[in-house]
Structure 1
Amino acid sequence: MRNFLSIPILVTGLSFLYGCNDDSYNIRQAGEAEKLGEEKEPIIPDMVHIEGGVFVMGDFGATGKDGVWRPYFPAAMEQNAAHEVTLSSYSLGRFKITWEDFDNYLLANHLEPIERGLSKTWARKPFEQEPTSRFYGSKPAQVTWQEANNYCGWLGEKIGVPVTLPTSAQWEFAARNRGSQDWVYPTHDGQPLHNHPELAKEVDETSSFVPVGSQLPANPLGLFDMAGNGMEWVQDWFSKEYYQERPTRVDPKGPEEGTQRVVRNLGTDSLDFSFSRTGISESLPSMMNPEWESVAEYTFRCAVQSPEPIKSRQ
């Protein structure tokens, strides 16, 4: 288990130091230039390049001793129907986007940092330094789907490559160590968290959100927090029947329209399979007052939609 304070990647600026090689670039410098209105430097996020491939997405199930194949979670077979997917290579954020990342984006675009409470919003101080605060700079940002989508698009414009939220298929392929059927759970070893009492104890003893990369080990691809530390927005509209109707897909992006967005990483309990997904409306009438809206805010990470590894540019 890595202690957060000993991680040699600073959680500052738009993201982190890009790798540990000679062409690394300190993202904090770019963020400070944005805030001070100075000449802007290239912004290079910390990305993991993921070689594409073919995998069975959804509830891939298992064959019992009786020779009969059964899904892991029959109750959700309609929305998690197994289907073959072919993915091109892409890159995915090693960490979720932090509040410091997001506040840099807001200020660079002359947008006001806000806090939400049902239908009301109020200004908040950016770059929070209090570790107990929800908005502490190193914790994952919790925002609406549109805000997450806008952030990734802006990041793509800054670095000159197409950047979006990952598709649901890209997220699952990465969470399952390139689609391995040994990865029933999106953890570092594909096993449920309760198989590791020392890790489960640490998660139980902390708040829901902790500094990114500080709680659980990375998966074999080097991705942190694919299990836990906040549910994640992805690009797709949600449909229960979408994958039942399409048994094979190449680089799927989900339905062309819908009323809910797909959310992944549903938690670390016994039902958080690596293929689990659900649909979330971006806002709903509040049960407290029908004239108020309850706005959905979740964590996210960005994906580079290019088969070539992203490299530092100076």
Structure 2
Amino acid sequence: MFNLANEAHFTLDLPGLEHDFRVLSFRAIEGGRFTMGDFGAVGDDGIWRPFFPPTLELNQPHEVTLSSYSLSRHKTTWEDFDTYLLANNLDVIERVFEEKRRRIPFNDDESSRFYLKKPAEVTWREAEEYCRWLGLRTGLPLALPTSAQWEFAARNRGSTEWVFSTHDGKPLHFHRDLYEQVGEGAERVPVGSRLPPNPLGVYDMADNGMEWVSDWYSDTWYRNNQNMTNPTGPVDGTEKTLRNLDFSFSRIGMPETVPTLHSADRLHIGEFTFRCALQRPTPLNTTGGKHAD
């Protein structure tokens, strides 16, 4: 089941514009039990050691059980996000520190940060509202993935062979051609165009920008919650969790507004990529119509 592609697409009729909104392309992921966090490995001497000792307290391994769910194959693109903005009569903007500037939607300049096929970089609130709106439009329970769901998918269903969230679980420098592509620049590229998908058919889990998930961030959550089923993280906090870092288990917290070194009076708004998850155990099973189900 977990390797089954389930696709759907629908068209939104916008004022003066009919735009093909092909975003519902999910991979069904069969649930299971896995060790979340720095799961480490036993060496030749028979001793278990973490992969990255400096963050062991933060990323303490703990057992998690997940129900089945589906995850978007790709990060949400600017094309998708601009469709959402126009459908809701929201301003199409870019941010420069705390300032907002108008921009043109559906940018077809491949060199632009806002090229329609590149991943949208937005605040956590905007990402959460996008997935919720898309769920209302399709009648599907869509939301940001939980941190556990993201890690389970990034590690090929929680495999202990997946130390990195790449297509094969190995660091990119094992693949010189891919390493050089990513190493030439951290700029965003069209979704799914730089690295191969992982065995679940999900793209860009190790590339193309850090990703928002639904959880509040906590330094102590892992070690205080050792055995969980479908965890959603702390009930509150001051920062949201970001995934897609060096290790498949790495995470950081980030508020929407962060201080900068440029000026004490000007604040940078935290904007990162995201994808939505279908929060139910049964997958989409057909294609077409308002939604496929």
TM-score, length-scaled by structure 2: 0.92
Q: 1:1-314 maps to which residues of 2 (within 5 A)?
A: 19=7, 25=9, 27=10, 30-31=11-12, 33-36=13-16, 45-266=24-245, 272-311=246-285, 312=287, 314=289
Letter in 2 for 1:61: G
Cα distance in 2 between the residues matched to 1:302 and 1:199: 26
**8 Å contact 1:42–1:159 — kept in the other structure?**
no
CA pair 313-131 structure 1, distance change in 2 beyond 3 A? closer
**What are the superposed Cα offsets for residues 208-254 of structure 1, whole Å, 9 maximum, x if unpaired?**
20000000000000000001110000000000110100110000000
Name the amino acid aligned to 1:167.
T
The 2-side partners of 1:292 and 1:150 are apart by 26
Read off the aligned partner of 2:200 and give its amino acid letter.
L
Return the structure number with greater strand share. Answer: 2
Whichever residue aligns with residue 55 of structure 1, its letter is F
* Runs of 4+ displaced beyond 3 Å: 35-38, 40-44
Amino acid at match of 2:273: T
1:112 to 1:18, Cα distance in 2 relative to 1, 3 A: farther
> Is the Cα contact below 8 Å between 2:107 and 2:114 reproduced in 1?
yes
Contact 1:49/1:91 (CA < 8 Å) preserved in 2? yes
CA apart distance, 1:286: 3.1
What's the C-alpha RMSD, in Å, of the aligned pairs?
Answer: 1.9
Question: 8 Å contact 1:155–1:163 — kept in the other structure?
Answer: yes
Provide the rounded CA distance (Å) in 2 between the counterparts of 1:97 and 1:282: 18
Counterpart amino acid of residue 36 in structure 1:
G
Which stretch of structure 1 is more off in the superposition, 98-107 or 155-164?
155-164
Give unmatched runs, 5+ long, in structure 2: none
Please state how far the C-alpha of 1:41 moved relative to its aligned partner: 9.7
Q: Which amino acid aligns with 1:187?
A: T
Q: Closer, same or farther in 2 for the Cα pair 1:245/1:207, shift >3 Å? A: closer
8 Å Cα contact 1:18-1:44 kept in structure 2? no
Equivalenced residue count is 284
Counterpart code for 2:272? Y
Deviation, 1:288, is 2.3
Query: What is the CA–CA distance in structure 2 between the aligned matches of 1:42 and 1:118, rounded to whole Å?
Result: 30
- Structure 1: which 5+ runs fail to align? 1-16, 267-271
Structure 1 residues 199-208 or 52-61, which shifts more? 199-208
Q: Does the CA contact (< 8 Å) of 2:214 and 2:232 recur in 1?
A: yes
- Looking at structure 1, the residues matched to 272 and 186 of structure 2 have their Cα atoms a distance apart, in angstroms, of 16
Whole-Å separation in 2 of the counterparts to 1:211 and 1:44: 14
Query: Cα 1:281–1:44, aligned 2, differ >3 Å: closer, same or farther?
Result: closer
In structure 1, what residue type is equivalent to 2:16? L
Normalising by the residue count of structure 1, what TM-score does the alignment of the two structures yield? 0.86
Shift of 1:79: 1.4
Partner SS state of residue 100, structure 2: strand
- Matched to 1:304, the amino acid is L
Report SS of the residue matched to 1:244.
helix
C-alpha separation between the residues in 1 aligned to 2:97 and 2:214?
A: 24
Q: For the residues of structure 1 that align with 2:154 and 2:58, how far apart are their CA atoms?
A: 18
Contact 1:48 1:91 in 2 (8 A): yes
